[in-house]
Structure 1
Amino acid sequence: MSQEEFRQKQTAFLTERAGLTKEEAAKFFPVYYELQDKKKALNDQAWAKMRKGKHEDLTEAQYESIITSILNNRIASDKLEKAYFLKFKTILSCEKIFKVQGAEMRFHRELLKELGRKP
């Protein structure tokens, strides 16, 4: 599934489950996907560090550096979440933000189940 197809499915699912109006969705999703893109970049960096850690010729200091970098990416991701929560509050009520978060978790669970069923 392409990123565009994924996002279309996700947008429809979250809009329905969170009860977003067309106007809310039109304002919310550009900001939401901006956050997702930034978090993906941090996650990609963390995975790149993990791959470097698979080399057996690394020193203890290099392993420490990798772990510290990964932890820093997680912290940066959490800070992004908090910053974007403040942006989301200018678009949606906290109740709808909460519903979007729940729907997001449900969407990913259902997607994983669907992928698990495909041969």
Structure 2
Amino acid sequence: MSLRGTRDVRDNYQIFRLTGLLDAFSEQAFSKVLGSKIDEGPKNMILDLSKIDFVDSSGLGALVQLAKKAQTAGGTLQIITNPRVTQTVKLVRLEKFLALQPSVDVAVENIKSS
């Protein structure tokens, strides 16, 4: 598989730290696994994509669907990126919708203050 990661569950949020490629080959498994984790809870999700090498349009679509699912469930999705991922997201003007954050610490603070 071109995408690997770990899951860390806390009181009211879960963090996924992912490495590899978020593309057409990994998108289906990514969507299925992370979508089921929103159902399991907690509903607030932080995706650490700072170690991701590449995101294509399929990956962006999966991120949008995941953000919508989290919102529908009453939670949030925040994404920590690297310059390459940020550039890809900004090209399609999704940086505000996808709640890009500079670090996991900032994302955790956003959850605690909401």
Q: TM-score, normalised by structure 1?
A: 0.30
Report which of the two has the higher share of helix: 1
Structure having the larger proportion of residues in strand: 2
Rg larger in 1 or in 2?
1
RCO (CA 8 Å, sep 6+): is it higher in 1 or 2? Answer: 1
TM-score, normalised relative to structure 2: 0.31
